[in-house]
Structure 1
Amino acid sequence: MAANKEVFLNQLSFENKKALDHVMNLMESFRAMNSTLELDEVLKKIMHYALNIVETAEAGYIQMLDESSNKLIIKASVGFNDNISFFKVNVGESITGKVFRDGCVRLISSREEIYNSMGDLSRENFDLIDTAHYNNQNIKSILAVPVSFGKNRIGVMTLHCFDIEDGISEIDLHLLQSFASQAAIALYNAKLHTEVQETLNEATLLSQRLKETNILLEKRTNIHNLLTGLSVENRGLDAIILEMNKLMKSNCVYVDYVEGTFSPKHDKYFARRIDDLFLLFRTKTKPAYVTIYDTVSVHCFIYPIRSGSILLGCLIVEGNAPLSQLDHLIIEQGAPILSLEIMKRRSQTEIMYKKTYESYQQFLKIKNPKQAELTAEELGIHHHSFLQTALIELDGNLDLHSLENEALLLLSHLREQMPFKDSLLFSYNNKITVFSAVQNANQEAYWIEIIENAIKWWNDRYTVVARGGISTGYYPPGQAEENHVKAEKALLYLRKQIEKGIIHYKKIGISSFFLDRPPAEIEAFMKETFSPLWTTHEKQEELLGTLFTYIQNNRSMAATAKELHIHTNTLYHRIKKIEHLLSLDFNCYEDFLKVQLGFYLYKKFLED
């Protein structure tokens, strides 16, 4: 088992090498960008290194807002002819104008969708961009990323891929987002440097102020280069936080959103309130002063560390005194580097989980008992009599990347609660898979209780809904797929009911036969069954309601009449009229079963 694990890790390390080398190149680009304060030179270097980072991209440009015209103009480009320099778009126009306006990344991976997104582009601009590259008619994908410094959006970076289908990936998107954060700092530093030089020429009376600004700029650059160097050298998250603490007048600590771990490690007395802290900052993008209440009240400055819409964690500085200008500067320079460092870890985790997901899917297809047992052991499962499969999905008004992040948080909580060694837990997209083996029915019941409590814990705290399906029982080797399919059906049942929580496959009963049926087919069956009563005619609707009440009361005339507030004789005549209209005899088992089934399907799948 240990040997298999070592082979798996070595293989994983081999596959990660290119990604890690790519990140190293990214960090080296940060040094190069900050090696000069000349704006034009910085812009050229940004585009040069952007294309090195996204290797499949063949051309790109960076636009910045011209405040006098309120248009985005080309400041630097690679891979385009001179026509690109005349390309100017309004804020909100075409792809890049909308990225600048909304501050949202856009990755478009088809020529048709690209041209549809450019539908509002002026004819002049369309001709310019269309002739700026010889191969523009064969464009395959576009990635446009906003470039922002703090609250200020200063431009948009756009990359084009012409030759490779799906050439620009989601990983490229995340890396370019982090790169754009660093590029914004470099642009801001260069712009600030330019302004400083212009101001020095305008008035000697401002010399002292300019001197202080230059000192601050020098500190900013030195701090940035120092922290970037630690990341380039792979010194790790702890080393970066420790260096920030050496530079700051106040001590800070980083808390990871997914794992809940502190960096550097320590026993903070407010650690029990960290979940509440994250609950507060899940959607916040700005830092704030808060008071954490536990055995004592602790005043803190909280700086959320994010990558786009994803909350990665928080920097916490104890104390309610305003942070010094230097401390603010250190945190602002350190935050993007921490974000990139965390995303490096996440990339490795995502690759590992993807490999686990693929291995698990292959395992499910194995029907040979001996081969299934050997493959299960490679996944860490020593086969026992009882197999458990739980599938949990997160559903909410969030983008997929944010849902993936939330899934990692719930997965971390499950790992803390799961005591069984023979367990495989992983997340893929917005879903979590828990696959375990236990020795007896008591352990099986305990395992189910753990899953139920974890989902209840989540749904009691968060607006993102967690729902899950469970399938457990005695399964010989080679039948894991049947167990998995039952868990999928249980999850599908909850999804169709638009309910949260968790349900066991054995509790969905007859619904398991209809889960794969489209709603239109179920509705067609009911219309066929109840068509003479399925109208807007008031009298017919009354008869349909009577029938449903009659079925719900298990054909009890007395109970049905009481609920409808009518006499039993009136009910009797209604039932006879319904039988006549439907051409059915309710004393016939098959006829009454048909209306019972129609009523059941209506209540379970179409009532809402």
Structure 2
Amino acid sequence: MEKKEAFLQQLSKENQKAQYHVMNLMESFRAINSTLELDEVLKKIMHFALNIVETAEAGYIQMYDESLNKLIIKTYVGFNENISHFKVNIGESITGKVFEDGCFRLITTRKEIYDSMSDLSKENFDFIDKAHHNNQKIKSILSVPVSFGAKRIGVMTFHCFDIEDGLSETDLLLLQSFASQAAIALHNAQLYTEVHKSLDEVTHLSQRLKETNALLEKRTYIHNHLTELSVQKKGLKAIIIEMNKLMDRNLVYADYLEGNYVPQHIKHFAKSLDDIFFLFTSKTKPAYVSICDTVQIDCYIYPIRSGSVLLGCLAVEGSSPLSQLDKLIIEQGAPILSLEIMKLRSQTEIMYKKTYETYHHFLKIKNPQQAEITAKELGIHHHYFLQTALIELDGNVDLHSLENDALLLLKHLKEKITLENSLLFSYNNKITLFSSARDAVSEAYITKIIESSIKWWNERFSVVARAGISTGHYYPGQAEENHLKAEKALLHLKKQKKKGILHYRDIGISRLFLQHPPEEINSFLRETFSLLWTGQEKKDDLLHTLFTYVQNNRSMTSTAKELHIHANTLYHRIKKIEDILDMDFSHFEDYLKVQLAVYLYKTFFGSLTKAGKLM
């Protein structure tokens, strides 16, 4: 009787426990399906799963990440943050195999658990090991797949640290029932998240489309409005003023050649304008610059160009980023401004071309009366002294850039030279100055201005400036002779690859050879020095000795001292050179030939190195 009562009590307890589990499952099913927010669903699944598997002390849910092809921790309980770094490959360790084959794993001994984790990467093992509070060791583990239909979406895993056999077959059965409902809840939450994400993307794209359409409408309006001002010939200033009205911030245009500002200058900006132009002659993209002088000014600089030619810069004061509208106004206005500036440049170029043609027509006039009339038309009145200066810019840039540089140097010269009784213009990459002065003092003054201006240019720019100058008494009808002398002085500088200025009178004997091609001069040098010009070290020393001897005007003492040899050694070297060249330096023609060859080489080709090699 007692046995029967005990059996009935045990049966009642098991029925109560089963009923509790059923109620618990039903409550968990209702709870996890009560929301569609994925994070909230995951938290609820983890909470109710731990209620179902009562002996579990910690657990986590991994979901499959298709982009990484790994199982990623999505929620956890009973671990520290190290668990969040636990990312398992498919087929790796216990949970990776559960996901791969879809079969649960219930392992109830510590040894078997860690043996099953032997293929876990060291990194993952460290993460899972450090994730346990107080470095507890796993004594029981239960891991079940989470599948929606035939598609596996993740794995639920629970740890027991207290005792082996802490997790049972009953826990497995209950968890498997729960997992199927959890999969449905997760699938619905994922769908909900994806739909919301798609909806957000569509809403975002719709908003972007509205903003883009509004921006395109503004762009079209700005372009048409500024173009209309250009078509109506309102001019550069009107366009910049209108851009200022449209913009949120003040805009200033600084002209590269003229150095002026439209509509007004920025305080403290003028002192640094040359440096800004120098920076943007090669820089094609806009940039923020900081100007530091007595005060600091931050500006957004947008270069205005025509091809490779810098025309000027748009400057917006301030370091904060430009609004989208301001950028749009500048980008739409820049090409229209460029067109307006090029219109003005074209007018200037036409004027200078006409001046160039008139000037060269004047040079050809030999009749004194006619020459004087034409000179007056050019603004030149007859005085006793005539000055012609030809300035050329030379560099590894295209012709349009050189023309632009010539206009900039011309502007600088105009600020220094009074145009009274002078003609100053540029054409292509050359600047011509033609003036008539009352005395030599006035001539010297202008020469000094040209010299300082060219020095100023060469110190700042990579493009080389050089000038040939000719002065003299002027008689109407003889201007061409003076012009040709200036051309010869400029040619001499170019052949020597020198910059700066050179007066025709300072050329000396070299004027006799200016029209000789370099090949002819080189041929003469080789004929003269061919027996020494061999590249052999001994003969190189002899050639160096000969050059030093000639440059010291045949002074044995000075030559020996410069060569650091004894006078007797020098004497024997000179005799040897005479024998090799079959010359006698005491004969006038022989020595003159050698002297002339040394002079030509030094003037047109370079100099000797200490080793005696021709450079």
- TM-score normalised by the shorter chain: which range applies? 0.5 to 0.7
- Post-superposition CA distance 1:169-219 (Å, at most 9, x none): xxxxxxxxxxxxxxxxxxxxxxxxxxxxxxxxx957633332222111111
1:254 maps to which residue?
253
C-alpha separation in 2, matches of 1:272 and 1:419: 24
The 10-residue stretch of structure 1 (345-354 or 444-453) with the greater mean CA deviation from structure 2: 345-354
2:33 maps to which residue?
none
Decide whether aligned partners of structure 1 residues 321 and 267 sit closer, same or farther in structure 2, where only a CA change above 3 A counts.
closer
C-alpha separation in 1, matches of 2:275 and 2:433: 26
- Post-superposition CA distance 1:367-405 (Å, at most 9, x none): 111111111111111121111111111111111111111
1:464 maps to which residue?
463
1:243 paired to 2:237: no
2:601 maps to which residue?
602
1:564 paired to 2:572: no
Q: What amino acid is the match of 1:492?
A: L
Q: Is the 8 A contact 1:519 1:606 kept in 2?
A: no
1:212 paired to 2:215: no
Q: What amino acid is the match of 2:557?
A: A
Per the TM alignment, residue 475 of structure 1 is displaced from its structure 2 partner at its CA by: 2.0
| 1:393 partner SS | strand
Per the TM alignment, residue 267 of structure 1 is displaced from its structure 2 partner at its CA by: 7.2
| 1:254 partner SS | strand
Higher Rg of the two aligned structures: 2
Per the TM alignment, residue 569 of structure 1 is displaced from its structure 2 partner at its CA by: 1.7
- Post-superposition CA distance 1:495-528 (Å, at most 9, x none): 1111111111111211111111111111111222
Report sequence identity in percent: 71
Q: Is the 8 A contact 2:406 2:426 kept in 1?
A: yes
RMSD: 1.9
| 1:320 partner SS | coil
1:198 maps to which residue?
none
1:270 maps to which residue?
269
Q: What amino acid is the match of 1:480?
A: A
| 2:462 partner SS | coil
C-alpha separation in 2, matches of 1:475 and 1:393: 24
1:319 maps to which residue?
318
Per the TM alignment, residue 317 of structure 1 is displaced from its structure 2 partner at its CA by: 0.9
Per the TM alignment, residue 470 of structure 1 is displaced from its structure 2 partner at its CA by: 0.9
Q: What amino acid is the match of 2:250?
A: N
Per the TM alignment, residue 581 of structure 1 is displaced from its structure 2 partner at its CA by: 3.0
1:342 maps to which residue?
341
Decide whether aligned partners of structure 1 residues 535 and 266 sit closer, same or farther in structure 2, where only a CA change above 3 A counts.
closer
Decide whether aligned partners of structure 1 residues 352 and 576 sit closer, same or farther in structure 2, where only a CA change above 3 A counts.
same
C-alpha separation in 1, matches of 2:540 and 2:300: 62
Q: What amino acid is the match of 1:222?
A: Y
C-alpha separation in 2, matches of 1:471 and 1:204: 77
| 1:311 partner SS | strand
- Post-superposition CA distance 1:240-261 (Å, at most 9, x none): 0000111111111111111111
- Post-superposition CA distance 1:87-146 (Å, at most 9, x none): xxxxxxxxxxxxxxxxxxxxxxxxxxxxxxxxxxxxxxxxxxxxxxxxxxxxxxxxxxxx
Q: What amino acid is the match of 1:547?
A: L
Per the TM alignment, residue 266 of structure 1 is displaced from its structure 2 partner at its CA by: 4.5
1:299 maps to which residue?
298
Decide whether aligned partners of structure 1 residues 474 and 205 sit closer, same or farther in structure 2, where only a CA change above 3 A counts.
closer
C-alpha separation in 2, matches of 1:266 and 1:256: 11
Q: What is the TM-score with the length of structure 2 in the denominator?
A: 0.64
Decide whether aligned partners of structure 1 residues 420 and 438 sit closer, same or farther in structure 2, where only a CA change above 3 A counts.
farther
Per the TM alignment, residue 588 of structure 1 is displaced from its structure 2 partner at its CA by: 2.5
Q: What amino acid is the match of 1:300?
A: C
Q: Is the 8 A contact 2:437 2:443 kept in 1?
A: yes
C-alpha separation in 2, matches of 1:439 and 1:562: 50
C-alpha separation in 2, matches of 1:305 and 1:392: 27
1:115 maps to which residue?
none
Alignment of 1:540-551 (within 5 A): 540-551=539-550
C-alpha separation in 2, matches of 1:469 and 1:518: 19
Q: What amino acid is the match of 1:284?
A: K
| 2:477 partner SS | coil
Q: What amino acid is the match of 2:307?
A: G
| 1:554 partner SS | coil
1:440 maps to which residue?
439
C-alpha separation in 1, matches of 2:559 and 2:420: 54
C-alpha separation in 2, matches of 1:540 and 1:499: 30
Q: Is the 8 A contact 1:270 1:294 kept in 2?
A: no
Q: Is the 8 A contact 2:496 2:605 kept in 1?
A: no
Per the TM alignment, residue 433 of structure 1 is displaced from its structure 2 partner at its CA by: 0.9
Q: What amino acid is the match of 1:233?
A: Q
C-alpha separation in 1, matches of 2:204 and 2:542: 92
Q: Is the 8 A contact 1:281 1:304 kept in 2?
A: yes
1:503 paired to 2:524: no
| 2:436 partner SS | strand
Q: What amino acid is the match of 2:400?
A: H
Q: Is the 8 A contact 1:388 1:470 kept in 2?
A: yes
| 1:466 partner SS | strand
C-alpha separation in 2, matches of 1:339 and 1:498: 35
Gapped regions of structure 2 (runs ≥ 5): 1-200, 607-614
Decide whether aligned partners of structure 1 residues 204 and 277 sit closer, same or farther in structure 2, where only a CA change above 3 A counts.
closer
- Post-superposition CA distance 1:297-354 (Å, at most 9, x none): 2111111001111111000111222211111111111001001111111111111111
| 1:498 partner SS | coil
C-alpha separation in 2, matches of 1:208 and 1:600: 80
C-alpha separation in 1, matches of 2:560 and 2:570: 6
The 10-residue stretch of structure 1 (384-393 or 530-539) with the greater mean CA deviation from structure 2: 530-539
2:101 maps to which residue?
none
Q: What amino acid is the match of 2:370?
A: Q
Decide whether aligned partners of structure 1 residues 249 and 204 sit closer, same or farther in structure 2, where only a CA change above 3 A counts.
closer
Q: Is the 8 A contact 1:467 1:499 kept in 2?
A: yes
C-alpha separation in 1, matches of 2:236 and 2:356: 28
1:233 paired to 2:225: no
1:479 maps to which residue?
478
1:391 maps to which residue?
390
| 2:301 partner SS | strand
Per the TM alignment, residue 455 of structure 1 is displaced from its structure 2 partner at its CA by: 0.3
Q: What amino acid is the match of 2:482?
A: N
C-alpha separation in 2, matches of 1:269 and 1:381: 40
Q: What amino acid is the match of 2:271?
A: R
- Bigger RCO (CA 8 Å, 6+ sep): 1
Decide whether aligned partners of structure 1 residues 380 and 310 sit closer, same or farther in structure 2, where only a CA change above 3 A counts.
same
C-alpha separation in 1, matches of 2:463 and 2:209: 49
| 1:367 partner SS | coil
| 1:382 partner SS | coil
Per the TM alignment, residue 539 of structure 1 is displaced from its structure 2 partner at its CA by: 3.1
C-alpha separation in 1, matches of 2:214 and 2:258: 39
2:307 maps to which residue?
308
| 1:322 partner SS | coil
Per the TM alignment, residue 272 of structure 1 is displaced from its structure 2 partner at its CA by: 2.2
C-alpha separation in 2, matches of 1:562 and 1:212: 85
Per the TM alignment, residue 265 of structure 1 is displaced from its structure 2 partner at its CA by: 4.4
Q: What amino acid is the match of 1:335?
A: A
2:573 maps to which residue?
574
C-alpha separation in 1, matches of 2:385 and 2:469: 13
1:16 maps to which residue?
none
Q: Is the 8 A contact 2:252 2:266 kept in 1?
A: no
Per the TM alignment, residue 290 of structure 1 is displaced from its structure 2 partner at its CA by: 1.0
C-alpha separation in 1, matches of 2:548 and 2:220: 76
2:221 maps to which residue?
222
